[in-house]
Structure 1
Amino acid sequence: MSIEFKRHRRLRQSANMRALVRENYLHIEDLIYPIFVAEGENIKKEISSMPGIYNFSLDRLGEEMDEVQSLGIKSVLLFGLPLEKDECGTQAFHDHGIVQEGIRFIKKNYPDMVVIADTCLCEYTSHGHCGVVEEGKVLNDESLELLVKTAVSQAEAGADIIAPSNMMDGFVAAIRKGLDEAGFLETPIMSYGVKYSSAFYGPFREAADSTPQFGDRKAYQMDPANRLEALREAESDVAEGADFLIVKPGLPYLDIVRDMKNTIKLPIVIYNVSGEYSMVKAAAQNGWIDEEKIVMEMLVGMKRAGADLIMTYFAKDAAKMLREQ
């Protein structure tokens, strides 16, 4: 039989040959590990829907940070669980709020660790929304004032990066102005600029106790059906002074990550969110999948889509796998 065709398999014949032509790699330095810090004492509480992920009180945070540092992970993202909540989320911007104290603890004991502060109000408000609520509506401009106070308080505590996740219009511009006026001109903003209203956040809301007490967040987070809207949101954040751009969630939005990589000249961060983590863990616990292979394929896929950095609850697992390779 005489036919002509391309022999692509020539470059797949051995492990070393495949490594020679491999296009994308995952590195430990790409990983950002989210940590939940809770007010109280002697707390190490596993989140039921997120096996292996815990809420830690400050007196036990060192246990987690020792492991994170030993694995070579260089960046963490902090969320806070306060004991008290109110209508305007006062504990989010309190000088001695739980995230502020968590930042101080890490920067004192692990000074080389990059500490990213999630800047939002939902974990601190009694109603669970990301801003000021009046007559059942989340107010945009009034919320910006509190977000600026939160960002400044986090920077004062020593945060290396401010990561606002609230999706209020103008939040990057307001926070940039607030940080600059407070003397934090060199503190970068990692904007959750492309954040979809997603069902994949469910386990996180258990972890952070941040479920809205009424309605939903569709009026300020993005419609999953929209693609061009992501470009508009991203372009606004770039113009307002963002230094990084986050796409959240991860797996269902890899096309958006590629759009961002092709059009936005900032480091692109993907958030491999709680629901994505929990699905893999549940399937692995049932023996339906090979967890290690699934995790590595998933994370490399995010890199291939264009992500420069990956926020993931799999960071410790992935770091162990990478060290063993």
Structure 2
Amino acid sequence: MLLSRWLWPSLLTLLALSCLLSVSTGPVSISLIDSLSAVMNWATQQNMGNIAPHEQLVINTVRLPRTLLALAVGAILAQCGAVMQGLFRNPLADPGIIGVSSGAALGAAICIVLLPNANALLIPLAAFASGLITTLVVYRLASSPTGTSVVLLLLSGVAIAALAGAGIGVLTYLANDMALRDLTLWQMGSIAGAQWIYVSLSLATLILISWRFRQDAAALNALLLGEAEARHLGIDVDRLKLRLILLCALGVGVSVAATGIIGFIGLVVPHLVRMMLGPDHKQLLPISALLGAALLALADIGARALLPPAELPVGLVTALIGAPFFIFLLLQQRSKLT
């Protein structure tokens, strides 16, 4: 309880600092004070400081939507990862590892390559539909009357991710130069092309899934005891699973459409929070959302600052952080089996 009380203000402070650093980092030099003043000008629609017009334009059209998109996507992916780990009762479950991200990526890639003039909302819709189909297929392959097999879950995810990767490869081969550049950068995961329409869509999705996940936190806690025990407690396990799978597919689909494939946020963040606070989803979900938002914002700052004036795709930065952590988890799981 003491750690939980200490963790909330610490994470809120980290979140505020990451936001401030994010809006002040970039090829155009803008001080922290001027960046904060520009954000206040945008929020109040008033000129509250002596900010140069070009600096205000950079904040309004580039850095602020980029920062807000990083926060929203980080919070979405972290919560979806926490829910999937609770749903499958395994700390290795993750939207990327079980193939959901790859499936959503295939749907979005189809729109980018084959429908270049499509409405911006069609890409997240296609990513959601493709991610949902992938999730249901993986879940069906891994399920049996006795429960869900973690081994089959991971193997099914690998197989589906390979199929989706093959589909994306075919689309890459067929793409013209413009679509090929967009698709390549998008596959690496990038927030550089943040647009207000994606910010609005991501924030709306974040609010929806956060509210619904919060409502199902107690049921997820019961599910940790096993499906039979959860049914004895009066929980409709099948309906709960379907609802959570739909919400995770929605969150991952919107995130993939907005930023491309950003891996390991959904794996690393919930596991860190679970190590600190335990498995109670009433605390795990909101804390994961805060930490995921801050971590992705900081990763995006690192992507901009590591090789100036060029920018690394943020998906590469999260992979550099997450891959060693995943290896650590695998070693930890192996030690439990020996």
TM-score, normalised by the number of residues in structure 1? 0.26
Higher share of residues assigned strand: 1
TM-score, normalised by the number of residues in structure 2? 0.26
| More relative contact order, 1 or 2 (CA 8 Å, 6+ apart) | 2
Higher share of residues assigned helix: 2
